[in-house]
Amino acid sequence: MKTSASTLEFKPARQQGIALIMGLMFLVVLTLLGMAAMRGTILEERMAGNARDRNLAFQSAEAALRAAQLELTGATLLPFVKGTAYTPRSENGTLNDYWQTTHDWPNQSVSVKRDKADWIPDGTSEAPRYVIEELGVAAAGGTGGLGITALNEEGVYRVTARGAGSSPNTVVILQAIFEP
């Protein structure tokens, strides 16, 4: 018996579609990995930006300390009056909260100037500022703890400097004691 080719039927095997499902699952996993990598990169960029902004604010406050130091070593100082940038010792002068939240920086401080205008360092949002407190005359004679000699009879001053970064919310406050 002869069979003809026309009577033979070709029946393909029935497919289950597992390759499609596995491919889609693989794409979902790759998408999740890509999103996690992007999230980590964005977080690192923000941290680097915040560190740079804080560094700018710190350098700005350092510039204010240097300007105050130059003023203290100058020929004459303005009179020390409570409620001004040149103030007698403040009872709250060593408290960080006072300088960060309470002190009236725009009206009771000196801004660093260049060519008689406020100097705003590149990348910062405002001019660095400082306050000079007259701490009074230091006790003379003897030595302090840790082998540090006592201050002499000249005046002693505490300078508090404020610098801002590129964001006005990034603020660094530094203090230094000067004995001219």
The proportion of the chain whose per-residue pLDDT surpasses 90, expressed as a percent, equals: 39
Query: Is it the case that residue 91 has pLDDT exceeding 60?
Result: yes
Q: What is the separation, in whole angstroms, between the first and last Cα of the chain?
A: 123
Q: How far is CA 176 from CA 31, 58, 63, 118, 132, in A?
A: 53, 14, 12, 22, 10
pLDDT band at 5 (very low <50, low <70, confident <90, very high): low
Query: Is it the case that residue 143 has pLDDT exceeding 80?
Result: no
Map out the domains of the chain as residue ranges.
Answer: 20-178
Query: Is it the case that residue 138 has pLDDT exceeding 70?
Result: no
Least Cα distance to 110 among 136, 56, 74, 156 occurs for 74
| Longest pairwise C-alpha distance within the chain | 131
Least Cα distance to 58 among 175, 165, 176 occurs for 165
Please report the pLDDT score of residue 80 as a whole number.
Answer: 84
Going by the DSSP 8-state scheme, the letter that residue 12 receives in this structure is P
Q: What predicted TM-score, i.e. pTM, was given to this entire model? A: 0.71
Q: Which residue has the higher pLDDT, 148 or 31?
A: 31
Query: Is it the case that residue 169 has pLDDT exceeding 80?
Result: yes
The three-state secondary structure class of 2 is coil
Q: Provide the token pair at 29.
A: 């996993």
Which has the minimum average pLDDT: 60-64, 121-125, 148-152, 166-170? 148-152
Mean pLDDT, residues 64-85 taken together:
86
